[in-house]
Chain A
Amino acid sequence: MEALALKLMSAVPALAGVPLWAMTLLVMVVVAVILLVFALTFGGLGSYVLRKVAGDIQVRIGPNRVGPYGLLQFLADGVKLIMKEDIIPAKADRFLFALAPYLVFVGSFAAFVVVPFGVGLIASDLNIGVYYVMAVTSLVVIGVLMAGWASNNKWALLGGMRAVAQIVSYEIPVGMALLPAVLIAGSLSLQDIVRSQGGLLGIFGWNLFHNPFTFFSFFLYFTAAQAETNQTPFDLPEAESELVSGYNVEYSGIRYAFFFLAEFGDMFVVAALASACFLGGWHVPFFRAETLPGAWGNLLSLGAFLVKAFGIVLVMMWVRWTLPRLRVDQLMRMSWKYLVPLTFVNLLGVSLWLLVFRGKGIPQLIASIF
């Protein structure tokens, strides 16, 4: 950030008088606004794609009235939500009821800081990247419980409690399944993790193909992440056929929209983490994007990253509309009896592999024979 501000100040003579801290702050705000627009657009267009995918899978057409192919449906929905009356139930705890959307939205949006979009395209390459995402997305849990409790509604409370129990249970498999990528890169920074998967081995440089354990751990992560973002088959917190809508029953209008946007934000962050930690992030197969001159390298790597992340989002939607919902006891069994022990054993497997083969994966071992 500071480097970018310095570069900008030396390039534009009119800015020379501005103090460095002010310029840095300005650059930060601009970057944050760009990512905010990205997050909101993703939420909007994501909801459109979600409904189109649902339509296709259920042999319907899906939204097709507003704009070409129904593409502007999300704008119409947004305008409608803003113009709806904002109802706070008389019995609700007004302060907590109003505070909950802030926590949920901020928690989801703050995770975008460390998403590595390209060679140099990252808002801030924190040296604790992965850990930071785990920590900051926990804000969402507090917000959800707060929303459920403050509504003073039986559905909302049940939904909120279920959501917390579920997210908390699946946070452990998610954290453990990301560890192999950290082990291989020897760093928590997401850029370092992505860089460790480069090289001319192409897709075989990815952590996914590093060894059998990392291959397995990608699927463990994907399953647990599906549950973390409350998607079917793990959408018990808002199981509409039994809980109406879960923790956000009493939320209407724009306040509801924040929960909705946060859900899509989480979905993108999860997909971005999966692609950064296992699918080589912004690396273009068999090509070194980082050797290209600045802008082109960034553009190419941004494209590669978005293709991977959106691909994962699409698969998540596909799973969402294909599988039926689990029961609560099945959900808890899935996490504590299967995923948790499996991720632990898997972690030991990865570390043993790294120890025995001195940090080399199968593709590197095969390549070193020739």
Chain B
Amino acid sequence: MSRSVWKGPFVDGYLLKKADESQKSGRKEVIKIWSRRSTILPQFVGLTFGVYNGRKFIPVLVTESMVGHKFGEFSPTRTFLGHAADRRAKRA
């Protein structure tokens, strides 16, 4: 059964504080966080977090479609280095 609605989404308190500070300052910065378990909230859209995967910080640029997911989903702990072949990267 999923988490009860009355409880609300879980977010670590320190992360909310850091995100608020970053939004108020208006600086472009990457907020380094360790809380992979926190839910991505709508107020995080547009911010870039560096989510720790146990070795390094993976940059996560939050978009609307990511709201409701956990930060850890976008920062894999095991990396497979595939072949480049004809793969493309798009600069956002």
Partners in one complex: no
